[in-house]
Structure 1
Amino acid sequence: MKFYKFFILFLFAGGLITSCSNNDDIEDFPEEKPDNSLTAEEELELEIKDFEYKAMDIWYYYNDDMDIYNDNYFGNQSELNEWLMTWDDPEELYYDGLLLNYPDTDRFSWIVDDYEELENQFSGTTTSTGIDYGLTYACDGCNNIILYARYVLPNTPAEDAGIERGMVFTEINGQELNINNYSSLLAESSWTLTLGEISDSGVDSTSETIDVSKTTVNENPVFITKTLDVDGKTVGYIMYNSFIFDYSSELNAAFGELKAANIDELVLDLRYNGGGRIDTAIDLASMITGQFNNEPFVKFQYNSYIQNVYESQGSDLTYRMDSTVNSPSGEEGTNSLNLSKVYVIATGSSASASELVINSLKPFIDVVHVGTTTVGKVQGSNTFYDSDAPNFDKDNSLNPDHKYALQPLVLSLVNKNNEAHPEGLSPDVEQREFISTYGILGDPNEPLLATTLELIRTGSRNMIPFEKTGKVPTNVISESKAEQFNYQRMYIDVNLPDQNN
């Protein structure tokens, strides 16, 4: 049993302090230490660090593999406090002390100093120019990087500036992009982008520039919904770019359109979808099918402590497909297509909840994957706030003195057959994207969609991939959503087990 479960709130005092936090969210408190006690700043820093450790000690998926989470590693609270204050700040403690081999083993857990910004991103609200972009090398063997537009969100500065999919840019604010400076240049609030031109040798700069600034953007992840006539078959096409709960109704409405069109086949485009909320992924699977109501879709696996708590309560760690969609306005009936096959476009930018849909649908229906190998993200996370243990949720006991929150990995997911693919999901038919032949998203001639439609026409997976290679492959170094907290993350919002029973 974790020793601090028997503790109530306590006052922080005494102890040797090696450093103070310089985080901007912590107010400047007096430096003096009367009677050798902690300053107010140090007390707050210790509160934050104590919350970090105790939440991770209970919930962190990998805590069975780390000695610091053993029950007797710290004999009492004073020993824990001394260890916590050896770390310079809450971020250093989290990434260097509390995670398993960050970033090699665990690169998907994170900490934020403003949970309101995190919550905004979970709801689809970000600060952006409106360009969904990728970054890749400008040529073979060079260090220069280009920014290329994958799509542009409507009603944003990027759209107003005339930026379109397939445009490439070599400079930001007069500086050539390279592996060392791209992060700092992308962080600037306004950009003067130098347009590039694809040539036989790579990408060359031009003298043309485009000015664009960042603003608050609300992205509806249901980007395209349409139907196509393919040799007499009605094919539904939906491009879905993130599993955002706040747009569950919009996703369900899109499937309502496809259902009303009585489609014969469905192409689900997840090529740029880095994941998101797990229950939204389950809703999407139920929209594609519908004939498997109450069937097990995904199983959750926790660390040994949480797993034992669940099992002692007889809890079911299986989450099932159902006939209702959870949305901000409440439950609504699922617009299910009752399909026995789905074609999914997925790439190296498809992760977590996107992979969950593909992997967990495979035991039920034929899933045909076109594109490239996916990321291989099979763990899920949960948000923890500085409030009462054991659930650390955003309740009435929330600490009002700071806005730190944790988003650690807490579980691993497998399908009904106990299968997972941490190495990524390999395509049935491989087709890479090349910037010079990008095409228009949703157009039947766009290479990835064209390959998929040819599969529908022929009914054979042994076909030769659509041969439209082109120049400058999209070997992604980074992408726009990498600047967000929830990049390639999969998270839950479900009732956690009551450990007091």
Structure 2
Amino acid sequence: MKKYLLAFLGLSLFLSSCSKNDATLVTEEIEEIIPAPEIDITVQNFMWQTMNTYYFWQSDVTDLGDSRFESDEEYVSFLESEQEPGKFFDDKLLFSEDRFSFYSDDYKELTQSFAGVSKSNGVEFGLSLFADSDDVYGYVRYIVPNSNASSKDIKRGDIFTGVNGTTLNLNNYVDLLFGESDTYTLNMADISDNIIANTDREVTLTKEANLTENPVYISNVLETGGKKIGYLMYNGFTNEFDEQLNDAFGEFKSAGITDLVLDLRYNPGGSVNSARLLSSMIYGTFTNSVFLKARYNQKLQLEFKDTDLIEYFADKTDNNTPINTLGLSKVYVLATGSTASASELVMNGLEPYIEVIHIGTTTTGKNEFSVTFVDDFENGNVYSPNREDKINPDNQWAIQPLIGRNENANGFSDYTDGLTPDITLKEDLSNLGILGNINEPLLAKAIGEITGTTAKMDFTVDMPVILISSSKLFTKIKDNMFMDIKNPLNLTKK
């Protein structure tokens, strides 16, 4: 069979610093499929080639094996066996334990999402189940500024049980909340005596295209108990806002804060490089200290020395702005089951160097990273906005497979079950509090630990949040962590 592997195609294109003692690397190019397929399998071919080369579990998926097909005809027949590209990806290419790899039929929409741009009404919410029922209710976590919702009568802590007069349940909530309709009306409810009861109140919302969310949601200095405490609520690792993040730390530094509370409770992840920069702002600009060690699949890993896959703490942003670092020996992190990927990377990456006090609940447990791939074989299918004119115009699909795992300086990456809290405290639906306010329960708990006043406070949780999903898991990027550090593979989204 003619070799279809990307099989290190592109290593010569995107290797920036790996020479492996100047050994010659394999740079075999892909050739066109000779057998004329009976159906269009352009997307399936792109998916298989990419997954065969980069997928972290490539050796565990029989159909991705290098010697899986004995002839061109057998390969083409396999691609034709599923005409729907999404089902082909999910059913034939994914490892059974993979919870996070995904695809998009519109790479432009996907890459915009990574920049914090999406179609949204601005309500970020969680979803839960009524006891002993399939009925679903939602609760508002926060409102994105300058969104449609920001001008409506809806706020954090509000409860809704229906859409357009239809009660939400496990069978319909996806279509009603995340379907094609841009405008819908939420049927609101109240909590009284720890019971959710419907009301006559309605809130009509409209999703707007190109809504940009600044992930630096709250940045305050709180003076209490003789301490100056920096509080940062950071809701997504979006590298387009790295300068604003650095500015926030500049304000913390100028204020002379003594402690930091980093609120990642709703942060599903994003840019690995932003995670590295944030960690440097907290700990220090020690460019000789290991932040992470990347681990790829067996084929790719063998091409590199360990030193080629190490990334260090940073002293500058990508715009060459000096990093404002606090040089802390301890950080308090608010994290929950909605805290994932790059958020967990920060917690794990800092652990070898400083004390990380995790307050909240167990995190998601996403320790692998991904890269955006598109149909651009000359560039190893790695997406680059500078090569928009090189992407196959007949294939707008993108895939976001897990391609590696990040270890910290101690070699630890085994947190697929999530990072467990040092201090367990669930959010309380009956008392969500105001984000950034010293009386908001999770923040109050952290302040109490810092100032030693915890014993004087009541942290009883009457209505604990039991999450089944959230609005962020229905965005294009979900809880993805994408590798965009300039490492030897140069697997970047830019």
Is 1:75 the counterpart of 2:106? The answer is no
Conserved? CA contact 2:189–2:196, under 8 Å: yes
Name stretches of at least 5 consecutive residues in structure 2 with no aligned partner: 6-27
Describe the shift of the 1:318–1:379 C-alpha distance in structure 2 as closer, same or farther (beyond 3 A).
same
CA distance 1:466–1:354, change in 2 (3 Å): farther
Query: Gaps spanning 5+ residues in structure 1: where?
Result: 16-37
The answer to whether the 8 A contact 1:222-1:239 is kept is: yes
Alignment counterpart, residue 248 of structure 2, candidates 246, 254, 257: 254
Question: How many equivalent residue pairs?
Answer: 460
Within-5 A mapping of 1:249-288 = 249-288=243-282
Alpha-carbon offset, residue 298 of structure 1: 0.8
SS in 2 for 1:150: strand
Specify the alignment match of 1:331 in structure 2: 320
RMSD over aligned CA atoms reads 2.1
Name the structure 1 match of 2:149.
158
Q: Is the 8 A contact 1:297 1:319 kept in 2?
A: yes
User: Of 354, 357, 368, which aligns to 1:368?
Assistant: 357
Give CA-to-partner distance per residue, 1:210-236, whole Å, 9 cap, x none. Answer: 111111311000000001112221110
Q: Report the Cα distance in structure 2 between the residues aligned to 1:402 and 1:255, rounded to whole angstroms.
A: 42
- Residue matched to 1:208: 201
Cα offsets for 1:349-401 (capped at 9, x unmatched): 10111111011101101111111111111000011111126721243642121
Task: State how far apart, in whole Å, the 2-side matches of 1:94 and 1:383 are.
Answer: 15
Q: Alpha carbons of 1:214 and 1:172: their partners in 2 closer, same or farther (altered >3 Å)?
A: same
Q: Conserved in 1, the CA contact under 8 Å of 2:4 and 2:31?
A: no
The higher relative CO (CA closer than 8 Å, separation ≥ 6) is in 2
Matching residue's letter, 2:102: W
In the alignment, which of 336, 349, 356 is matched to residue 345 of structure 2?
Answer: 356
Residue 494 of structure 1, CA deviation: 4.0
Residue 135 of structure 2 corresponds to residue 117 of structure 1: no
* 8 Å CA contact 2:309, 2:487 repeated in 1: no
- The answer to whether the 8 Å contact 1:197/1:204 transfers is yes
Q: 1:60 to 1:11 in 2, by over 3 A?
A: closer
Q: Which position in structure 1 is the counterpart of 2:310?
A: 318
Change (3 A) 1:64 1:11: closer
* Alpha-carbon contact 1:309-1:497 (below 8 Å) kept: no
| Aligned-pair CA distance for 1:141 | 1.4
Q: Which amino acid is 2:439 matched to?
A: N
Instruction: Tell me if 1:91 matches 2:86.
Output: yes
Residues of 1 paired with 2:122 and 2:32: CA distance?
47
Cα distance, 1:209 vs structure 2: 1.1
TM-score by length of 2: 0.89
Aligned-partner Cα distance in 1 for 2:314–2:277: 7
Which of 291, 294, 298 is the aligned partner of 2:292?
298
* Shift in alpha-carbon separation, 1:418–1:397, aligned structure 2, 3 A: same
Counterpart of 1:203, as a letter, is I
How far has the Cα of 1:294 moved from its partner?
2.4
Task: Give the match for residue 11 of structure 2.
Answer: none
Question: In structure 2, how many angstroms separate the alpha carbons of the residues matched to 1:493 and 1:234?
Answer: 34
Residue pair 1:447, 1:466 contacting (<8 A) in 2 also: no
Question: Which 10-residue stretch deviates more, 156-165 or 385-394?
Answer: 385-394
Rounded to whole Å, the distance in 1 between the matches of 2:320 and 2:447 is 34
Match of residue 139 from structure 2: 148
Given the two structures, how large is their TM-score scaled by the length of structure 1?
0.88
2:434 alignment partner, one of 423, 429, 440 = 440
Give 1:135's match in structure 2, choosing from 106, 113, 127.
127
The answer to whether the Cα contact below 8 Å between 1:386 and 1:405 also exists between their aligned partners in 2 is: yes
In the alignment, structure 1 residue 52 sits paired with structure 2 residue 74: no
How far does residue 293 in structure 1 lie from its aligned partner after superposition?
2.9
Partner SS for 1:490: coil
Distance 1:70 1:146 in 2: 44
Provide the secondary structure at the position in 1 that maps to 2:446: helix
Q: Does 1:177 align with 2:140?
A: no
Q: What percentage of aligned pairs have identical amino acids? A: 38
Paired AA for residue 83 in structure 1: F
Report how far residue 465 of structure 1 moved.
10
